[in-house]
Amino acid sequence: MLTIPQALDRLDTILAAARTAGADTADALYAGDASTSIAVRLGQLEDVGRSEGEELGLRVFIGNRSASVTSSDLSPAALREAADRAVAMARLAPEDPHAGLAPEALLLKGQPPELDINDPTDLPSERLKALALAAEDAARAVHGVTNSEGGGAAQGRANTALMTSTGFAAGRASSSYSLSASVIAGEGAGMQRDYAWHSARFFADLEDATAIGTRAGTRATRRLAPIKLDTGQYPIVFDPRVSASLIGHFIGAITGSSITRGTSFLKDSMGQQVFAPGIQIIDDPLRPRGLRSRSFDGEGLPTRRLALIEDGILTTWLLDAASAHQLGLAPTGHASRGTSGPPGASASNLHIAPGPLSPDALIADIKRGLLVTELIGMGVNGLTGDYSRGAAGFLIEEGQITRPVAEITIAGNLKDMFLALTPANDLAFRHASNAPTLRVEGMTIAGA
């Protein structure tokens, strides 16, 4: 894997070759990564994985015609050949009036801000194995756990660099550490499984292995002897381990590609009340040690903290340069890309701001409802907002969480769900997308 200076040198080489071959403008992206993973099961080492890879992607423009190529051979000769091939392809490509680099005047100037996303700690394989074993041992020690699907520990590093022919050049190095455990409780047809995991940029921020394993085992045993619910309408409470999925459906509906194609259920909702009053959804790419922190986007634009939803009102789309041009707007610094094609748009570190009520207070007046702790399948229609997913969790009776529930489907429409959403005050920043406990009124449960 190349260092950032080495990667920028290769990008300069291929951009120079593209200009020599006849490109009007171009940009190039380097992506390199390396990771080590350890898997254990029933106290024994099961698998050791080590992966390394690097690739360079070039995108060239001749007028409004463009083409992209990738190469894993980073020698000067191979890069010149890739540039020649890209320019030849662009000459034959159809014209796209919206194709082009991000406006030069909007590019990030100067040194990108430091986001503290690269931990130099290098864990030997034996340390990773010990962590995985500790997590699994703690899970198996929980009374009622009868089998294990294993424990896992991993560390990774990634270097990314971007350069454009219009003057942007920068890179970033990042690290990641993760730990997990998954176990089974019960016997025969009554078995239930569950898991726990955590990931962090810095090893020091990774949750204790024993805590992760104990949580996995406790979750599995709590799910034993589930009941089914009768079909009907109930208040649904989404546990924090699944509540952030609702943000994901929202983000998918406000990306530029969905808006320009007219395939989003929110395509006519700019400036309108989309969530309940008081709701805020924040995208914060500059959060230190965030799992999706980035100081520049996939086209070289600076990033910034932004309220996507302010007091329940939709404030912006997520736009790369092409979708912004098509909509007659400015790009928002949300371009995201790989090495093999043009950018799209995506969010970074997301969260729903917490409300004033504790989770207990949020459910106190629910006579009969459901706490959802697991969602299954992806039954969401992005065009209409119709929502239907398999679920499991716990029955809420008279304001108390009681018996486990399984084999049900919850359904509604995201437009209605967003407007009927109430957050609790238990927001914790553990993942790339985070949300507190969320209550949604009037959803349908299809059960027994």
pLDDT digits (tens, 9 = 90+) for 207-254: 999 999 999 999 999 999 999 888 999 999 999 999 999 999 999 999
Q: Give the pLDDT of residue 447.
A: 73
Q: Is residue 325 scored above 70 in pLDDT? A: yes
C-alpha to C-alpha distance for 85 and 67, rounded to whole angstroms: 9
Residue position matching structure tokens 């094609």: 341
Q: For the residues 94-104, what does the mean pLDDT come to?
A: 94
Q: Give the pLDDT of residue 33.
A: 97
Cα dihedral 416, 417, 421, 426 in deg (nearest 10): -170
pLDDT digits (tens, 9 = 90+) for 331-359: 999 999 999 889 999 999 999 999 999 99
Tell me which DSSP letter residue 399 carries: T
The mean pLDDT value of the chain amounts to 96
- Domain-by-domain residue ranges, the chain? 4-32+51-104, 125-222, 226-448
Q: For the residues 301-329, what does the mean pLDDT come to?
A: 97
* Percent of the chain with pLDDT strictly greater than 90: 96
pLDDT digits (tens, 9 = 90+) for 132-182: 999 999 999 999 999 999 999 999 999 999 999 999 999 999 999 999 999
Q: For the residues 43-53, what does the mean pLDDT come to?
A: 96
- Asked if residue 25 lies in contact with residue 58, where contact means CB atoms within 8 angstroms, the answer is no
DSSP helix/strand/coil, 86: helix
Work out the number of other CB atoms within 10 angstroms of the CB of residue 220. 29
Task: Specify the fold of 4-32+51-104.
Answer: PmbA/TldD fold (3.30.2290)
Q: Is residue 448 scored above 80 in pLDDT? A: no
Where do the DSSP E strands lie in 91-219? 145-164, 169-185, 192-200
Q: For the residues 9-37, what does the mean pLDDT come to?
A: 97
Domain 125-222 carries which CATH code? 3.30.2290.10
Answer whether 4-32+51-104 and 125-222 agree in fold: yes
Tell me which DSSP letter residue 302 carries: B
Residue position matching structure tokens 């553990």: 430
C-alpha to C-alpha distance for 411 and 328, rounded to whole angstroms: 36
Residue position matching structure tokens 């967003």: 418
DSSP helix/strand/coil, 14: helix
As beta bridge partners, residue 160 has 31, 172
Residue position matching structure tokens 């159809």: 94
What b/e string do you get for 330-368 counting C-beta neighbours within 10 Å, with b at 16 or more? ebbbbbbbebeebbbbbbbbbbbbbbebebeebbeebee
Give first-to-last CA distance, the chain, whole Å: 54
Q: For the residues 106-113, what does the mean pLDDT come to?
A: 93
As beta bridge partners, residue 159 has 32, 173
C-alpha to C-alpha distance for 277 and 394, rounded to whole angstroms: 28
C-alpha to C-alpha distance for 242 and 316, rounded to whole angstroms: 25
Tell me which DSSP letter residue 405 carries: E
